[in-house]
Amino acid sequence: MFRSRAKEEKAPAADKAPVNLSKQPRDPQAPKGRPTPKRSEAQAQRRSVANTPMTRKEAAKRQREERRAALERQRQALASGDERYLPARDKGPVRRFARDFVDSRFNVAEFFLPMAVVILVLSMVRVASLQNIALLLWLVVIVLIVLDSAVSAFRLKKQLNERFPDQNKKGAIAYALMRSLQMRRLRLPKPQVKRGERP
């Protein structure tokens, strides 16, 4: 008899005990020990619990969507120069300075493609003098690109050592030279400085 009374006393106490299913912090002012969540909050909480994919197909779909969103953010960052979402090879003050250094000046290498087309057309014309001029132009263009790239690399290395003495500068020169080979309007991230402007 004593046991049954103890069970009866425990049963109502268990019924009155608040069921705390929410992960919200307890509000001591609320009569139930916590405020009743709004419908939107409860739905958001249920969604976050149900957000874990149950099947392989759902996991793959979610990964694809996340990858697509990340690529879109990266594409916008390449257009705007937003450092947060740039690819790893473009991030950091050293790489930014290298980009600005290249974009602020005229580079012989950026005119390589248009000049190559002109030289190719001249070499296809079956006139001996024009073919000789085309061959000479090839040599002149290559020598100019090599000299200009060497001067740019030397100047950039000097400025990087002055401005960023304690930072990792590995690969910055090669990065800048590869950028100088691209035509200005096709460069990514987009140039943030005008020609002649000091970076």
Tell which residue, 55, 149, 49, 61, has the closest CA to residue 105. Answer: 149
CB atoms within 10 A of CB 99: 24
Q: What is the DSSP letter of 102?
A: H
pLDDT at 98: 95
pLDDT at 52: 56
pLDDT band at 54 (very low <50, low <70, confident <90, very high): low
pLDDT at 18: 47
pLDDT tens-digit readout, 10-46: 444 444 444 454 455 555 555 566 677 788 877 777 7
Q: What is the DSSP letter of 35?
A: P
Give this prediction's pTM.
0.66
| Structural contact between residues 141 and 67, judged by C-beta atoms closer than 8 angstroms | no
Indicate if the pLDDT at residue 158 is higher than 60: yes
| Structural contact between residues 95 and 171, judged by C-beta atoms closer than 8 angstroms | no
- Per the prediction, the chain carries an average pLDDT of 82
Average pLDDT score over residue span 109-127: 90
